Amino acid sequence: MKVLLTGSAGFIGGAVSRRLLERGHEVVGLDALIPEAHGAGAVVPEGTVLGDLREPRAWEHLLDDVDAVCHQAAMVGAGASVADLPSYADHNDHGTAQLLAAMSRHGVSRIVFASSMVVYGEGRYACEEHGLRSTGVRPVADLEAGRFDHACDLCGRPLQWRTVPEDAPLDPRSSYAASKLATEHYARAWVRQAPGDATALRYHNVYGPGMPRDTPYSGVAAIFRSAMERGEAPRVFEDGAQQRDFVHVDDIALANVLALEQQGEGYRAYNVCSGRPVTIAEVARVLTGREPTVTGEYRLGDVRHVVASPELAARELGFRAQVMPEDGLEDFRTAPLRG
């Protein structure tokens, strides 16, 4: 299979490219090398074409003889401020729309693309007495008072997290999240109109060798690593008990290849996760070997817990994470970073 891989020079794109080549596929790479995604140490892999998805005249000829597209190119992270909104909409939404339109012009009908767990907003919660409950944005007064957990709307007791399935309500809480949900909507519309075959992979917290260093757009694992290298204790928001799922970049690559190799029709979305949730405080301890500073600070728009269900991806893609957080995070302590 010949695959056009967007974002091929990036942290995740590089891992996907290696996995595709290992399995005997041909890769045509495309990357714009935007600094926010690459940091200062970007290296253009051999065979990668420099091109911006927003300007298809420069690259759409690459689609002439490919069998499928693997779309990883994006502005990443939660965003440093509201001022990032235009950049996320331009790169992620406009870029994806141009890609889908170009695919139709060139008769390419299959795409696997990077979405994110952030499309869910808050995770799933239940009360011991009243079962599953819906939650809204946590009140600022509660956050100021150090009450970080959601409470049952019927009895006021703290809610407990439950795993989030792919059919859960979608409620983006950041610029990045809104852009990722928009790309899913564009892909759904394209599937109906083209027609085509699209698979959205909702990545959870990705980490691994080659991750960009500490920038406003870095993942929390890289931020903790940078604190360790500066000799500082890592700082965690709220009480550090937020539950997340950390998935190794090699597993992300495997999920992409399995999705590309599967013949499908229509639109599908899958959680890509380890299935082994950990707290943010525990991640900080493992990555730095130090007790984190629990700040009690909070960020508006942050969610309390997001823990995905891996079951649909296991059943339909045959994907199960191979690297568990207890092993992968320990190895990541000394893994090389980018930039």
Active site residues: 176
SS3 assignment, position 4: strand
**Beta carbons of 73 and 7 less than 8 angstroms apart:** yes
DSSP assignment letter at 142? H
Q: Is the bond preceding residue 325 a cis peptide, omega within 30 degrees?
A: no
Spatial separation of the C-alpha atoms in residues 103 and 83, rounded to whole Å? 31
The count of other CB atoms within 10 Å of the CB of residue 136 is 10
- Segment holding 70, helix H or strand E: strand 68-71
Q: Which 3 state secondary structure label does DSSP give 126? A: strand
Are the C-beta atoms of residues 28 and 64 closer than 8 Å to each other? no
CA distance 181 to 118: 9
253: Cα within 13 Å, side-chain hemisphere: 23
Angle in degrees, CA 76, 116, 31, rounded to 5:
40
User: Which residue in the block uniquely carries the two structure tokens 């590089």?
Assistant: 14
Q: Which amino acid is at 314?
A: A
**Separation CA 134–CA 61 (nearest Å):** 47
* Sign of torsion over alpha carbons 288, 272, 171, 87: positive
Report helix, strand or coil for 11.
helix
